Structure 1
């Protein structure tokens, strides 16, 4: 429970960062973005089962995940639960 709460503190910081820039590092998609995409997708799947705080509460994060999901390789790698909820 505490770990999940700490994770959402991080998501709130990520949401703030993404309000100022499109990607985590630089002007294009990097390995950091790919890793963050997979982390966020896993969080979204877990929270759907646990009925906890939802990524939908962080609009910049949702937009970021949606943008990354448009990349064919990422689209093939995961379903996008948070985009289906919106």
Structure 2
């Protein structure tokens, strides 16, 4: 399935300005929220997914299938030391 994204008149087809504004507003109203988000980002930089890789791949596949409205399937294959993940969801 391919999807063509048309730029909006404002040049923001994914609504990132709205998302950014929401995050900045949340941080402004709750300094604790900012610290929690910063800590989460630091965990990711330090290898936050390394022990949950397969679980994260399965969750991403389930989420993609739910968005596409199709039954979810995930195939993991190890080829020459490379883990290949394929699912039936849509990007």
Q: What is the TM-score of this pair, normalised by structure 2?
A: 0.27
Structure with the bigger RCO (C-alpha within 8 Å, sep 6+) is 1
Report which of the two has the higher share of helix: 1
Larger radius of gyration: 2
